[in-house]
Amino acid sequence: MVQHNRETMPYRDCVGIALFNPSGKVFLARRILAPGPDTSEVDAPWQMPQGGIDDGEDALPAAYRELFEETSVRTIRLLAQAPDWIHYDLPDDVLGIALKGKYRGQRQKWFAFLFEGSEDEINLSHDAHGLDPEFDAWRWEEFAKVPEIIVPFKRPAYLEIVSAFADIPKQLRGGTL
């Protein structure tokens, strides 16, 4: 068995998207779990959209691109950006397996967007993109509940995300955003 030294492995630079609806709930999608040795998300496959930042790409354009690639959503308005990078580390049992075996975890720049379109704009099948779908279901959820729904090793990061955007649901419900 190959041993991986977590301390020498880099983080993968990514973006994450908290997509809110006008009533202040946030978009969650259920990952399609690919067969293989990475079982890190089998028990809790729900998450907010996220994805890698391409070489030479800035974080905000990457967030727009990733959201579109994963959900087909374009009718959005930027509400906020988390002030700092948010990190998570992979569990030991999938280190060297998950994230193509190259990374210790992810370093994410998070953005909050308001979804201003019709729900029929949401399309997880990617027919128009020529990409394999990442998700097979979606739902709107109370933002504060998200850290308890997602996979446990990402909870500390999701608590930071909820803290960064904590006022947004109330502002949306109150019509001030």
pLDDT of residue 131: 74
The verdict on pTM exceeding 0.95 is no
Q: Quote the mean pLDDT of the chain.
A: 89
pLDDT (mean) for 166-175: 96
pLDDT of residue 161: 98
Distances (CA, A) of 145 to 84, 85, 166: 22, 22, 12
Contacts by residues 129-133 (CB-CB < 8 Å, ≥ 24 positions apart): 129/68, 129/69, 129/72, 131/69, 133/32
CB proximity list for 78: less than 8 A, separation 6 or greater: 60, 111, 112, 113
Token pair for residue 177? 């955003």
CB proximity list for 104: less than 8 A, separation 6 or greater: 6, 7, 9, 10, 11, 89, 90, 95
3-state helix, strand, coil in the chain (%, to 5): 30, 30, 40
Say whether pLDDT at 1 is over 50.
Answer: no
Range in 18-22, 37-41, 102-106 the model is least confident about: 37-41
Which residues on neighbouring strands pair with residue 51, listed in sequence order? 15
CATH T-level fold of 6-34+43-173: Nucleoside Triphosphate Pyrophosphohydrolase (3.90.79)
Say whether pLDDT at 157 is over 70.
Answer: yes
pLDDT digits (tens, 9 = 90+) for 40-89: 555 668 999 999 999 999 999 999 999 999 999 999 999 999 999 999 99
**Taking a C-beta distance cutoff of 8 angstroms, is the pair 15, 62 a contact?**
yes
CA quadruple 29, 33, 37, 42: dihedral positive or negative?
positive
> Beta strand 25-31 with 86-89: parallel, antiparallel or unpaired?
unpaired
- Domain locations in the chain? 6-34+43-173
